[in-house]
Amino acid sequence: MQDFEALKKMWQLNQEQQAMPEANDILLQVSNTKNVLAKNLLKAVWQLIPAMVIVILIAVFIKFVNIITYVGIILVLVSIVVYGAALIWHYFNLSKDYSTLKPADYLKVIQHQYEIRKKFNQIGGYLYSLILYIGSMLYLVEVTAHVTPLWQWFGFIITTVWFLYVVFVLSKKVIAYENQKFEDIITQLKKLNQQLET
């Protein structure tokens, strides 16, 4: 039978030195970690640039008669910019470090973030899709003016189906996945806090 003091002695006598990384290895890892974050952000922004350039080129080099077409193009551009801003905001949030917070404070931060994301997903997501949809529809009015009404309606219907799919299927799946992740973290944090309270 060992009492706690015997276990403590055993622990403290255990000077077995494991091969631990050196300080320089950690410093090297610091720069690598930052590079990965920056690289991901850059990659996401780079992916937006071609779409933006194409829309701008269309607006500049193709002469449209109807002012509504230009309104449509501007709305599409606005949605791309809004998406880009949301992306940057998301990365800033990701790179924030909460490791020095107390467990209870960390729970509050996560819960607050969850509320913000929920509001953003509910309102922002729909608004973003709606702007993109209206922009695309306005653009299609003039672009499809010279085709037969059948093809024109085909274009409108395809755009509408795509919009409905994004809003009611795709974004719902993405939001549900994100909410699940947040709820898992919050449940775990609550469990950990309960351990501290009892």
Partner 1 sequence: MQNKTQEFKEIYNKHRSKIYKLCFGYAGNADLAKDLLQDTFIKVWENLDKFRNESAISTWIYRIAVNTCLSYLRSEKNKPKDPLSDFILETKPEEINEKNQQVALLYKCINQLEENDRMIITMVLDEVEYLDIAQVFGISEGNLRVKIHRIKQKLTEIYNYHARL
**Can you give the binding site for partner 1, defined by CB under 8 A?**
1-4, 7-8, 10-14, 16-18, 20-21, 23, 25-27, 29-30, 33, 97-106, 184-185, 188, 192, 195-197
Helix extents (H) in the chain:
4-13, 23-61, 67-95, 103-119, 125-143, 149-165, 171-197
Residue with tokens 């890892």: 29
Q: How far is the CB of 93 from partner 1 (least distance, A)?
A: 15
Q: How far is the CB of 55 from partner 1 (least distance, A)?
A: 38
- Report whether 91 contacts 40 (CB < 8 A): yes
Residue with tokens 């950990």: 192
DSSP code for 99: T
d(CA 63, CA 16): 77
Query: Is the Cβ of residue 24 or residue 148 nearer to partner 1 in the bound state?
Result: 24
Q: How far is the CB of 11 from partner 1 (least distance, A)?
A: 4
Q: How far is the CB of 21 from partner 1 (least distance, A)?
A: 6
CB neighbour list of residue 182: distance below 8 Å, 6 or more residues apart:
110, 113, 114, 117
The two three-digit tokens of residue 161, written as one number: 């189906």
Query: Is the Cβ of residue 161 or residue 192 nearer to partner 1 in the bound state?
Result: 192
Q: How far is the CB of 104 from partner 1 (least distance, A)?
A: 5
Query: Is the Cβ of residue 25 or residue 115 nearer to partner 1 in the bound state?
Result: 25
Query: Is the Cβ of residue 13 or residue 150 nearer to partner 1 in the bound state?
Result: 13
| Residue 42: C-alpha distances to residues 35, 36, 159 (Å) | 10, 10, 30
Query: Is the Cβ of residue 60 or residue 97 nearer to partner 1 in the bound state?
Result: 97
